[in-house]
Structure 1
Amino acid sequence: MLFHVRMDVRLPSDMDPSVRADIVAREKAYSQKLQREGKWPHLWRIVGEYSNISIFDVSSNDELHELLSGLPLFPYMDIRVMPLATHPSKVS
């Protein structure tokens, strides 16, 4: 199942810089693991924002929820999910 996911990160402005660096490093490691596994095949930065657009390829809604809630930055994110379906005009 494919999902289009927009993630907007909103870290507190008063977050300790060492805590911020740690959480961002853990986020990068976790996201790259999911990319290598093929569960997160596309990841794009939105210009001028601390946001991204991603495509996830997972087996279920529950798996997507588990992966997203496992993101170290999850508590600081606004996330919007759109399930995707094959378009009938798509060339194979």
Structure 2
Amino acid sequence: MLYCVEMDVAIPHGLDSDYVAKLKADEKARAQDLQRQGKWRHLWRVAGRYANISVFDVENHDELHDILSGLPLFPFMTMRVTPLARHPSAVG
């Protein structure tokens, strides 16, 4: 199943900078691992914001929830999830 996930990140000011740097490094490693597995199909930065638009390809809602809630930056994210279906006019 395909999902469009919009993620906005809001890390509180004053949070320990070493802790934030580790969270970001862990987030990057997790995102790259999920991309290599084929589950995180697309990852696009939203220009001018600490945000991204991503496409996930997972088995079901529960798997998506487990992936998203397991992201290191999850406690600082607001997400919007939209299930996707093939469009009849799409080529390929």
Question: Please, what TM-score do these two structures have when normalized by structure 1?
Answer: 0.98
Unaligned runs of at least 5 residues, structure 1: none
* Deviating 4+ runs (over 6 angstroms): none
RMSD, aligned CA: 0.6
How do 1:17-32 residues align onto structure 2 when only pairs under 5 Å count? Answer: 17-32=17-32
For 1:52, the equivalent position in structure 2 comes to 52
- The amino acid of 1:85's aligned partner reads A
How many aligned residue pairs are there?
92
Question: Please, what TM-score do these two structures have when normalized by structure 2?
Answer: 0.98
Distance in 2 between the 1:90 and 1:29 partners? Answer: 32
Unaligned runs of at least 5 residues, structure 2: none
For 1:71, the equivalent position in structure 2 comes to 71
Deviations 1:4-26 (A, max 9, x none): 00000000011110000010000
- The amino acid of 1:43's aligned partner reads L
